Amino acid sequence: HSKSVSAGNTACRVIVHIDLDCFYAQVEMIRNPELRDKPLGVQQKNIVVTCNYEARKLGIKKLVSVRDAKEKFPQLTLVNGEDLTQYREMSYKVTDLLEEFCPLVERLGFDENFVDITEIVEKRLKQLQQSGCSRLCVSGHVYNDQAINFHDTMHVRLVIGSQIAEELREAVHARLGLTGCAGVASNKLLAKLVSGTFKPNQQTVLLPESCQDLIRNLEHINKVPGIGYKTTQRLETLGLKSVCDLQACPSAILEKELGVSAAQRIQKLSYGEDDSPVTPSGPPQSFSEEDSFKKCSSEVQVKEKIEELLANLLDRIHKDGRKPHTIRLTIRQFSSTNKWFNRESRQCPIPPHLIQKLGKESSSVISPLVDILMKLFRKMINVDLPFHLTLLSVCFSNLKDLPSSKKGSIGVYLTEVSPLSASGKNVYEKEDVSQDQTSSSWNQNFNRTGNTPTRKLSEEKKSCIRKTGIPDFPFNLSPGDIDQEVFRELPEDIKKEIISERTGEMIPTENVFSQPSLCFPKEINSTPPSSKRVNSDMNAAGCSIPFTSAHGSATVLAHSSNASCSECPGSILIDGDGEKKPTDPLNFRERDLLALEAGASQTVLPAPVLGKGEQAFGTTSKDKTYGSREGIVFPLNVDPKTFFELPADVQKELLAEWK
C-alpha cells in the first residue's frame, strides 16, 4: 500500500486514527456559535444521539432517550439532527483537508479517518539523521506512560508520528473549527483502540511493548474492531467472552465454528495484529437514506416513507453527477428479542430509460422508482398478513460516470461486447426484446438481485446481418497517428481543419470503405403488400446510404442492384444540385482521414416519394409499431429498428437531444 514500505514489512508502518469530538454537536456549534457554552444535545427521533462536553459534565450521555435527558437536566438545549446534509458536507471537508497532507486517507463513518503517514515519517527520519539533531519530543501522551527508547528506530518513528498527528489536528481546528482525538500506532486496529484513551481533544501514541496491555484491557471481545455482533454471538456459544479467552482458544475449534480464513483473522486481531492497508476511500460507492420509527404497518405508509427517502436521495445524486445502476430496499421488522440486527434487503437493476433521467428530471422518475421499490417490498413482506416495520432504507449503488459521447445516445440501450473484435472493429449486440418484453424482464430480475438482463442477438439475426453485409463499424482503417476516440471529442471546426490539412480537398465517401457502411437487413425492409413500391425503391439502390458530413453536404453511394457492394465501378460525388462529379482515387492516408470524418457524421434515413397511405421503411399508415420515420437524422451508432422499439417519450427525448 505504500511505496516505501513493502506489504510484508507492516511493522514499520505508522498509522494515525483521528476521531472528531462529539461531531454532530460540534457542527451545530459552528453553525450557531451561541450554543458553544451551553449544554447541547443533538436529537434524532426520540433519542439524543450525541451531546457536547458541557452536557456530559452534567451527567448526560449519548444515545439516551430525550425524555430521560430532559428529566435529568431540563435546561438541556436540543437541536434536530435528522437532516444529515450539514454533517456529511463537513465530514468530507475533513477528509479533503487530511488528503492535502497525505494521499492515504481512509474514511470510517462521518467522524473518523485513518491516515497512513509512513512515507512522511521516513522522510523526516532521514532529515533528522542527516542533520545530526538528537532533540526529539513526543506530542501528547504515551500509553501506559512507557519510557521512550530513542535508540529504538520504531520508537523514534512513532514519536515523529505523534508530531505529525498533532499537526493534522491543529490544521483541522484552524481551518474547520473542529477538535478531535488521535491515536498513533503501527497498524489500524491499535491506532483506533488507543485514540480514545484521553478525551477530548488529546492524542496518544502506542509503543509496541504496550500492545498486549491495551488489547487485554478491553472489557469484551465485541470491543475489538473487526469482530461484529453475529461473530460475537458465535464466539460466546463457545464460551469466549474476553480477549484472553480468544487468545487461549485452540485454532481448530475456531476454524470449525468460523472457517479457516475468518478464524485466523480473528485470532490475529486478538493479538493486536492487523496488516490491512489504509485504502483511500475516494468518492462514495453508494448513496442511502433511511428512517426509523416505532411502527409502520400499511402499504400506504410504506409508500409515503419511500417517497420521502427518494426525494432526498435524488437530490444527492444530482449533486454527485454519477448515475446509479442498482437500487436496494432494506427493511427491519419488529422483534422483541432481536431489536437492531434483523434487517432484510432486496435489490434490482434500474431500467436504462430511468437511469438517463436521474439527476435532471427527478420529479418524473419518483413514481416509477416507487413502483420498483414497492415490488421489492412485496418480495419480502406478505402484505395480506399483518406486519410491523421499524425501519426503511433506500440505497442507490453501482455508481458510474456516463461518458459524454453516450449522453442522450441510443448507445445506452446497447451493450459493448469487447473493445475490439478480431477484425479491429467495435462490435455491439442489441437486446432482442420488444419494449413490452423489456419491462417484464426487469420484473423477473427482482429475485436475482444485482443482475442485469443478458443482451444477445439471436442466431437468426446474426445470420441475417452476415448475409446482408452489415459491417461491425462504419470504417475499418485509422491513421496510425490519430486516436479516433480523441478525434471525435474535438470541436467540429478543429476536425475540419485537421482533415483539410491532410487531404486538401473534399473527399468522396465511397472510397473510404472496403465494404458498404450500412445495409438494411431483409427483416427491416420486409413490408406488407401495400408498401411493395417503397421496398422496390430501396432495393433498386442496393446499399445506398446517404451521409451528412461535418461540412453539411450529402454524399451518396449509389450502386446497381446487380452489383455487389464491393464491385462499385467508380467514385461519384453528388453535390446539392444533383450533378455528378468524378473524383480521383484516394491514397491510404486520405481514406483513413475520411473515415475519421465519417465517424463524426450522422446517418440520415431517406424519405422516398410515397403513395397514398404509405410511409417510409415499408410501413402503412395503420402501422403503429414504428410510427413516422420521415426526415429523422440518426447518429452513426444508432440502430433505427431499436430506436423505433423504444417508448414514445424516450424517442422524443433522444430526438430533442440530437437536434
- Could you list the active site residues? 112
Which residues are registered as beta bridge partners of 105?
A: 115
Nine-digit cell string for 293: 420509527
DSSP letter string over 558-581? ---TTS-GGG--S-EEE-TT--EE
Cβ pair 168, 139 in contact under 8 A: no
The Cα 162–Cα 181 span in angstroms is: 12
The answer to whether the peptide bond before residue 200 is cis (omega within 30 degrees of 0) is yes
Q: H helices within 381-531, ranges in order?
A: 435-444, 459-468, 484-489, 492-503, 522-525
What is d(CA 510, CA 549) in angstroms, rounded to the nearest whole number?
13
Helix (H) or strand (E) holding 40: strand 40-44
Q: Give the CB-side neighbour count of residue 524, counting CA atoms within 13 A.
A: 22
Measuring CA to CA, which residue among 287, 354, 348, 272 is closest to residue 317?
287
Instruction: Number of helices (H) and strands (E) in the chain: give both, helices first.
Output: 24, 24
Q: What value, to the nearest 5°, has the Cα angle with vertex 574 and ends 569 and 576?
A: 175
Which grid coordinates are listed for 168? Answer: 493534522
Measured CA to CA, the distance from residue 272 to residue 23 in angstroms comes to 27
CA distance 322 to 331: 26
